[in-house]
Structure 1
Amino acid sequence: MGYSGHYHSNNYAYQSASYVQQYLKECYSNIELPDAERKSYDSCYRFMYFIEYGERYYRHASTADAELKPILLFYGMIQLLKACLITIDPNYPGDTHVLAHGVTSRKRKKRHYAFLQDEVKGQKNGLFEYFSRKMFHVKQVEGEKYKMEDLLTLIPEVCPLFEKLTRKVTSYKMISLTSTSFTIQASILDTLNMTAERFESYLQQHGDTSIKVLTHNRDFITLQFKEDPVAGLQRRPFLYDRNTLYLPAERSQYNPIAEVMAHYLILYNLSMICRYETEWWGDLFHTQESLDLPFILQFLEVTSEKIPHLLYEFLNKRGKS
């Protein structure tokens, strides 16, 4: 997997109250909050408990049966998200509106139900809306629906499975030439139904960094960036798997949803299914008939390592001036 870093020694620092207080003071000073010292003192232990309980959930998930993992991983993710939010808002949770999950799942049809085609719906208030806005500057549209298959295509480690099981290419790997130039297969123009010129302006429109198409031929396109795109981890529309960059293959994937948001929505749905749709969940593991199971197992493996990696990366960057 390559993400086995969430028990990395760098993160042990968060078990020291004196370090955490100083770290939070830096976070609050960086965003010019008044009275940063007092606020860091007040929120220090809350932050530490969120980290501690998040770690515990992830640790238990690593040894749990696959059938139980979604609940443990979902609640582990929530604890780490709350720690992230405290670095931005020392009063979190300021009111009860932000405590709900902020997502609803639809009533399930018993016959012919397929997880990949299932949808969840974002709500006006709750954790999902709050962390999307505060951490990733993505405003939620109330009632917006998210399909599981679409969300899974935003996780590049799952993309090879789409190709193998459904013959569908969902992302294109960007091969690094220098820190700011990359080649990508020219066939992305066919799947996006664009000319090279349109592709360049489309990337400019959907990204927050300057991009130019330097050259293109029948096989490859060379892209030139103004700055190293990996330095801005979680910049959409790019997808990230360790230090490898990908571009989505379909226009519908060029949206502002950060990968952390996709993991939250999928985990929310899986945790609801394994709690309340026990019969379907049991059949899924025992009959192994559908395509759903390989995708769910692959996702659980990826999210158990990648979400702590991404959220700790977020935390480690917050304290830097």
Structure 2
Amino acid sequence: MNDYIDIWRRLTLFHSTNVAQKFLYHCYIKQERQDAAKKSYANCYPFIYYLEHGQNFYSTAKHAPLSIKPVLLFYGMVQLLKACLLTVDAEYPESTSVLAHGVSTRKRKKQSYEFFEDEVKVQKHGLFTHFSEKMFHVKHLAGEKFKMRILLQRIYEIHELFSFYYKENLALDVMYDHLNQKIMIPGKILDHYHMTFNRFKDFIIKELDSFNITSIKDEGPSSYICLTLEHKQKLTPLSCEPFLYGMYDKTYRFPTNMTNIFKTPEITAHYLLLYNLSMICRYETEWWNELLHSYSSDAYPFIIKFLSVTADKVPFLLHYFLLDKFESLKSI
């Protein structure tokens, strides 16, 4: 059975106030909150309602016309994020500032608008910066900008389109032995980075600073570079950057060019892309419908592919966030 198909059934385990309250209680105890019991009782119903509301958005999006899917998918994601936030922030929403989206889009020039070149800009306050910091410990600066093309490159499942349309090889498949904590990167990665093994070794230790690497071995240029992680560490779908996780085939990839986007949690790329597409389909109706009906833009297949992938992958990643936390707390 594919994990991504089973997501909503798995999340129903939280559709019990008793289970939700105990789960949140253990989350807050781990955070050493003195009011863990009080807060867990207060938040268990909102937690369940956010999950249920999110599922309703995704279920509706599945059967909705393509023209309105981005709005439904975006607000479905927002509801799931709110449920996740309650596990790490008992006070959410502490103020109205975190209720805003946290990003904005630029004004478009209608005649020459190109989706790939469009940008979203991070605001000082709002949901985007709040969940990035609370859930993933990543701080985004106000005014930081992200281009749509770059955000699409962050998502493993979109890479085949970049390869087909632009002959861009954005990442290489790696082998991950989770039992022995070994990551095997193809030796030809050295050609992409124009590095010797020793230089790449120094580079990878710096780039993978969140991982404790116990050894790096070169098994020949036509073979693999083997990274061994500390026993307790592992690659996971949610926290593997700069590696990318493929949901459908359960594989990891390593980028052939270490740009900053690959160091960012994938869930942020989905949020920013969905936010912009939801704004476009609501407020740029003429361009949006021309895109959907004229097939004149290279962006069309990328957008359609993204909407298909994100409908599966965001619930998968966020359900992983909750269930991984649930499993880690069961022994408490």
Q: Give the TM-score normalised by structure 2.
A: 0.91
Partner of 1:263: 270
1:18 alignment counterpart: 18
In structure 1, distance between residues paired with 2:269 and 2:111: 26
Instruction: Tell me the CA shift for residue 216 of structure 1.
Output: 4.3
Distance 1:4 1:244, change over 3 A: same
User: What is the rounded CA distance, in whole Å, between the counterparts of 1:244 and 1:2 in structure 2?
Assistant: 13
Q: CA deviation at 1:253?
A: 4.2
Q: How does 1:160-179 map to 2 (within 5 A)?
A: 160-176=160-176, 179=179
1:204 aligns with 2:205: yes
Equivalent of residue 240 in structure 1, options 235, 245, 249: 245
Question: 1:193 and 1:109 mapped to 2: Cα distance?
Answer: 39
Aligned alpha-carbon RMSD (Å): 1.8
TM-fit CA distance, 1:215: 1.4
SS in 1 for 2:280: helix
| Residue aligned with 2:128, SS | helix
1:116-164 deviation line (CA, Å, top 9, x unaligned)? 1211111111000000000010011110110111111111111111101
Measured after TM superposition, the shift of residue 267 of structure 1 is 0.4
Count of paired positions = 320
Asked if the contact 1:104/1:123 (under 8 Å) is kept, the reply is: yes
In the TM superposition, what is the alpha-carbon distance from 1:218 to its structure 2 partner?
3.2
Deviation of 1:219 (Å): 2.5
2:107 paired with 1:100: no
Measure the CA separation in 2 of the matches of 1:210 and 1:309: 26
Shift of 1:188: 2.3
1:178 to partner: Cα distance: 6.5
Report deviation, 1:112. Answer: 2.6
Distance 2:134 2:207 in 1: 20
- 1:125 corresponds in structure 2 to 125
Check the 8 A contact 2:154/2:261 in 1, yes or no: no
Alignment match, 1:46: 46
TM-score (norm 1): 0.94
For 1:275-314, what aligned pairs fall within 5 Å after superposition? 275-314=282-321
User: Percent identity among equivalent residues?
Assistant: 42
- How many angstroms apart in 1 are the aligned matches of 2:3 and 2:308? 12
**Stretch of structure 1 that moved more, 147-156 or 231-240:** 231-240
Match of residue 323, structure 2, among 313, 316, 319: 316
Distance across 2 between alignment mates of 1:199 and 1:308? 35
Letter in 2 for 1:224: L
Q: Does 1:65 align with 2:65?
A: yes
Gaps of 5+ in 2: none
| Aligned equivalent of 1:218 | 221
**Distance in 2 (alpha carbons) for counterparts of 1:315 and 1:176:** 23
SS of the aligned residue for 1:183 comes to strand
Query: 2:228 is matched by which residue type in structure 1?
Result: F
